Amino acid sequence: MARQFFSARLVEGEAVVDGAARILLGHRIDLGAGQTPGGNWAEWHWDGASLALSNDRYRGYPVYYASSDSFFAVSPSVDVLLDLGVDRELDTDAIAAFLTVGFYPGEDTAFKAIKAMPPAAKMSWRQGHLDIESDTPRRPDVGASRAEAVGALAELTRAAVRRSIPDDPEYLMPLSGGRDSRHILLELLHAGHRPARCLTAYHHANVWGGDPPYAARLCELYDLEHTILEAGPLIPDEWRKNRVTSYAADEHAWYGSVAAALNGHTSHTYDGLNGSTAFVREYFTPKMQRLDRERRWDDLAANMGRRAKGQPRYAPLIAPGARSRLGADAASARIRRELDRHAGGPEPYLAFRFWGRTVRELNLTSTAFLPDVPAAYTPFMDPELVEFAWTVPTEHVDEHFHDDVIGVYYPEANDIPYRPRFEPTPSRTFLRQMNRHLLQILRRHSDGSLVDRGTLLRRAAFGAVTGDSWFAWARRAALLTYLVQLESIALGDGPGDFG
């Protein structure tokens, strides 16, 4: 696919432009007269004098931009913006927050000069002047009872899925061993829209997964064709994932095999984006709920992210000279500023998660990974469903909540177990390969400005021989790969392919 971008540079008062003058990314769903279209989409149009940009209600389709007095560029790919000459200075406060929670808050990226387009935005650039309007939807007050919530969400899911069914009957359906994709598939089958085939991928051996047996049982029950996909080597997959996702995700490396099976092979597909937010609140622990309710934002920010011996779990990766810039205090301060944006509504932490993790990270499997799939529908992002789910009090959303929603119409489907969480046990062969690849990237691409290069080289060399598992836990392998890529880019050597 050709690079998707637009750039304008002022030369003696005239705009010299390059790239696509008009583009629509993603897909739209007609929600009726006077309504902003649903779906995940973004568009821009250059009329010869000014550039107009807009996107969907929730920022479901990621787009990034860089702007100065004499230059503007926009693209769904940060790599493309870097190739256009955008400044590579790293935003260490934003990176510290990312290392802590796994996604970028607000409109941040890893680079100071590059920002994400905000939700429900209308932007314009003309003669070096950028205007931004963003009508971000606000969370309504909570209040639905549990019984009301279960019944309403079952009905809203059915309606959202039906709105997303196009005329083309042929499509491929990714199916995990969890609830979100199962729920969507059941509604598609009820509507008579059967997939040609379901696809299920194994995760990498250091990540809990094990989806295929559970997806296979569901496919057998409904007589569906089923293909099982294998993940590739971990570190090359992480490297590619970071580039594909514009350095905005600490997960999804396993999805590369699914994307390869979908791109260019189906006219549309489906993704369970927002299911883990609308139907699950396990991440909103009683302690976090109490801090949120008491509006103790500093304590709430400081309690985000997992820690070991009082330090962020990524701390052993960080170079001594970077520890203050990428430490817990820098992360907490940036997270606190983002919480302040949501403090006027109910449950600010849930708003922080939705506008951060859901629509800055989890949306990337249905967008950035699938440039050659015309439409990847996300029914749980339907506006009616999203905004009703926001009204459901957290105390109603227990471990059985989504099972009960599915069981309204499909009680038999809950008889097939869902994939359990379990501690993965990677083999020595996997661990040796992982360590060899980490050793390779540390030697070739790291200058030690962000990571503790000497210590980590010794660890990786030891693991390449022994199969040591130190890098396999606490996201260390993924975050080390990520930070080494950022080092390489900041030096001017990247972005480049793995090797």
Is the pLDDT reported for residue 1 higher than 60?
no
Would you state the pLDDT for residue 370? Answer: 98
pLDDT band, very low/low/confident/very high, at 308 (cuts 50, 70, 90): low
- Could you tell me which residues come within 8 angstroms of residue 86 by beta carbon, excluding any fewer than 6 positions away? 66, 73, 111, 113, 114
Mean pLDDT, residues 263-283: 94
* DSSP-assigned states of every residue in 347-415: -HHHHHHIIIIIHHTGGGGGTTT-TT-SEEE-GGG-HHHHHHHTTS-GGG--TTHHHHHHHTT-GGGGG
Q: Per-residue pLDDT tens for 65-80?
A: 999 999 999 999 999 9
For residue 120, give Cα distances in angstroms to 81, 135, 210, 240, 340. Answer: 22, 5, 37, 29, 20
3-state secondary structure of 445: helix
- Read off the pLDDT of each residue in 104-116 and give the average, rounded to a whole number: 98
Q: Quick one: average pLDDT of 347-363?
A: 94
Task: List CB contacts of 355: < 8 A, sequence separation 6 or more.
Answer: 59, 106, 119, 136, 342
Residue 477 has φ and ψ, to the nearest 5°, of: -65, -45
For residues 430, 431, 435, 436, the Cα torsion angle rounded to the nearest 10 degrees is: -40
- pTM value is 0.96
Tokens of 229: 């996909």
Specify the amino acid at residue 244. V
pLDDT over threshold 90, residue 268: yes
For the residues 228-256, what does the mean pLDDT come to? Answer: 97
- Look at residue 208 in the predicted model and tell me its pLDDT: 79
Question: Which pLDDT score is estimated for 311?
Answer: 80
Cis amide prior to 495 (ω within 30 degrees): yes
pLDDT in tens, 408-453: 999 999 899 999 887 889 999 999 999 999 999 999 999 999 999 9
The string of pLDDT tens digits covering residues 115-156 is 999 999 999 999 999 999 998 888 777 788 899 999 999 999
- Residue 303 to residue 307: CA distance in whole angstroms: 9
Quick one: pLDDT at residue 35? 84
* Beta partners for residue 18, in sequence order: 7
Q: What is the pLDDT of residues 86-107, one digit of tens each?
A: 999 999 999 999 999 999 999 9
Q: How far apart are CA 317 and CA 327, in angstroms?
A: 11
Contacts of 494 (CB under 8 A, 6+ apart): 445, 485, 488
* Angstrom distance (rounded) from CA 383 to CA 259: 26
CA distance 211 to 201: 7
Tell me how many degrees the CA angle 201-204-205 measures, rounded to the nearest 5. Answer: 125
Q: Does residue 238 have a pLDDT over 90?
A: yes
pLDDT of residue 2: 65
